[in-house]
Amino acid sequence: MFGIIGLVILFGCVFGGYIMGGGSMAPIIHAAPIEGLVIVGAGVGGLLIGNSVQVIKGALGGIGKTFSGPKYKKQDYLNVIFCVSKVMKTLKSEGAVALEAHIETPDSSAIFSEYPKLLKDHALLHLITDTVRLMVVSQGTLSPYAVEEVMENSIKTHHHEELKNADALATLAGALPALGIVACVLGVVKTMAAIDQPPAILGGLVGAALVGTFLGVFLAYGLVEPWAKRLSQIIEDEAAIYGVVKQIIIGTMHGHPMPLILEAARVGISHHNQPSFAEVFDGLRGK
């Protein structure tokens, strides 16, 4: 919602102010398609040269995420707390063998099937199932510190991969002003080739060239850089749910009291998504 409001303010203030100052949109509309083709085409080409297909898809998809926001809401954090708590409770009360069916086929698991959104998030699901699988095959001989290190490496790797998408957009934002200058220089070259034309024609050619510089700066600092920054914030926000999983599993392995484990997991969640103490414990009582 705020992203759309921001776009309205951005375009309204820039072009509205230009028109209010007596400017005509005709030269910009006339020059924008060609100048935009040079700038955007060169930017996309640079993305293709400097990134893998996965990163490009993630970066372009990330633009949509800047409007929709983080995919995890308060209820998702509660569901993850409930799900992982049930898994660890089953491990303690029924033993590792009882968990094999749950972690090998989570789609048919009585525990995981209660949380369909979790089942669709393969990275988060694998963090849970792979860690528990490691505990099962090791038959209780694992050090909690060793498991924590494995989980931290897994989370770090996933986080690093996600940040590549925001970095790709940030790199594009840094390149767009220079690509605008490239478009402008090409326009100047075109102008110099028509130096024998009347001033009115030369003025139009110079104006078209300057539109290239304008578009490069406008796209970079008005759109792409804010998108890159917002996507980075979303990625950081979404990372909290992986910490919730780690806190519950490692806390249980250390033998800490369940209230302490759950509170440690809860307080690591961003305030706008953080469930209350009562929501966590009342929810678990009802499960």
Please say if the pLDDT value at position 77 is more than 90: yes
Residues 183-208, mean pLDDT to the nearest whole number: 84
Which residue do the tokens 């490239």 mark?
182
Closest listed residue to residue 230, CA positions, set 238, 218, 219, 240: 238
Which of 199 and 268 is assigned the larger pLDDT?
268
**CA distance linking residue 70 with residue 91, whole number of Å:** 31
Task: Give the pTM.
Answer: 0.86
Structure confidence at residue 222 (pLDDT): 94
Which residues lie below 8 Å from residue 223, measured CB to CB, with a gap of 6+?
10
Which residues lie below 8 Å from residue 213, measured CB to CB, with a gap of 6+?
177, 180, 181, 183, 184
Q: Please say whether the beta carbons of 119 and 107 come within 8 A.
A: yes
Which of 286 and 252 is assigned the larger pLDDT?
252
How far does CA 219 lie from the centroid of its chain? 20
Which residues lie below 8 Å from residue 38, measured CB to CB, with a gap of 6+?
179, 182, 183, 186, 212
**CA distance linking residue 196 with residue 74, whole number of Å:** 67
What is the tens place of the pLDDT at every residue in 9-43? 999 999 999 898 888 888 889 888 999 999 999 99
Which residues lie below 8 Å from residue 141, measured CB to CB, with a gap of 6+?
none
Residues 189-196, mean pLDDT to the nearest whole number: 83
What is the tens place of the pLDDT at every residue in 114-146? 899 998 999 999 999 999 888 888 766 778 999
What is the tens place of the pLDDT at every residue in 237-275? 999 999 999 999 999 989 899 889 999 999 999 888 899
What is the chain's mean pLDDT, rounded? 89
Query: pLDDT grade, residue 203 (50/70/90)?
Result: confident
Q: Give the number of other CB atoms < 10 A from CB of residue 191.
A: 19
Which of 103 and 140 is assigned the larger pLDDT?
103
Which residue do the tokens 């402008």 mark?
184
What is the tens place of the pLDDT at every residue in 162-182? 999 999 999 999 999 999 999
